[in-house]
Amino acid sequence: MELYRSKSYFIRGYLSENFETSFYTVWNDRVTLQLSNMKQEYLKTNQALWDAKTPVHLKSEMYDMEAFLAGKNTLDKIELEGVGDVKGKSILHLQCHFGQDSLSWQRLGAQVTGVDFSGKAIEKAQEINKELELSAEFVQSDIYALPENLKGKFDIVFTSYGTITWLPDLDKWAKVIRHFLKPGGFFYIAEFHPSWYAFDFDTKLPAYNYFNSGEPYIETEEGTYADNNAQINKKEYFWTHSLAETSMALLNAGLVLEEFKEFDYSPWNCFPNLTQRAEREFVFDAYGVSIPHVYSLKMRG
């Protein structure tokens, strides 16, 4: 019986092992295909959303194109102080929209390359760059595909305000940042705080996870943060990212933390129920307590 059982076990084990190998090969192929399809779906959907937002934002009071074209610098004191003097520096600006901040850095003496996945935004950025007779460059690309679409290294990689929520994988994002940094260069991000992002600003109640579940939120956006009455009604995919997830992705990519700051205000009046307390300082004070609205990280390559 032992021999029979052993032999039978061997046969069952052999068949099971080969079945499982085949099963997992097929399953992994399907998962890979599903993830690829999901990537194409969220990119296509979010690109369509930002293509629709671009012409609305160009006409909005918030972006104030007339003042910008007349010389206004759109950068806030948070990033101006955090990044410092950029004269003679090369900057890679990730998720630059239609380039106001990119061109503001260019006006301050940097040589800037702006990147965004929206074709409409990049097209407009190039037009404004030409109109202002500046020498910035603009590239249309998904951030994850950027190493395939852009050559060179930069003194500074920069991104700000409402950018990483559109990205599902921060480990891959951080590796792209590391790829483009010159030795000794630094990455700087000023971003809305994930604890602040957890709120539904209409109801004034927490509504979103602080931690990334791995699954996107899928919502339909009506209007846009720069014009609530805009005729936009489009689906969007977005993710939440904790401070630990964001900072560890960058640390694991080989960057070294140089500075971390938190701010109790937003420089943008881009959510409902914010109160202005000073010039370019807007606060969500529904509960009468001080909470972080924005954080910044400066990390050296």
Instruction: For the chain, give the percent of residues with pLDDT over 90.
Output: 85
pLDDT tens-digit readout, 56-109: 999 999 999 999 999 999 999 999 999 999 999 999 999 999 999 999 999 999
Q: What confidence score (pLDDT) does residue 40 get?
A: 86
Q: Which residue has better confidence, 16 or 238? A: 238
pLDDT of 11 > 50? The answer is no
Instruction: For the chain, give the percent of residues with pLDDT over 70.
Output: 87
pLDDT of 291 > 50? The answer is yes
Q: What confidence score (pLDDT) does residue 30 get?
A: 41
Q: What confidence score (pLDDT) does residue 28 get?
A: 43
Q: What confidence score (pLDDT) does residue 43 get?
A: 95
Least confident of 39-43, 52-56, 68-72, 203-207: 39-43
The mean of the pLDDT values for the chain is: 89
Q: What confidence score (pLDDT) does residue 118 get?
A: 98
Q: What gap in Å lies between CA 39 and CA 233, rounded to an integer?
A: 21
Structural domain spans, the chain: 35-300
pLDDT of 14 > 70? The answer is no
Residue 43 CB: number of other CB atoms within 10 A?
16
pLDDT tens-digit readout, 227-268: 999 999 999 999 999 999 999 999 999 999 999 999 999 999
pLDDT of 2 > 80? The answer is no
For domain 35-300, the question of CATH label 3.40.50.150 is answered with yes
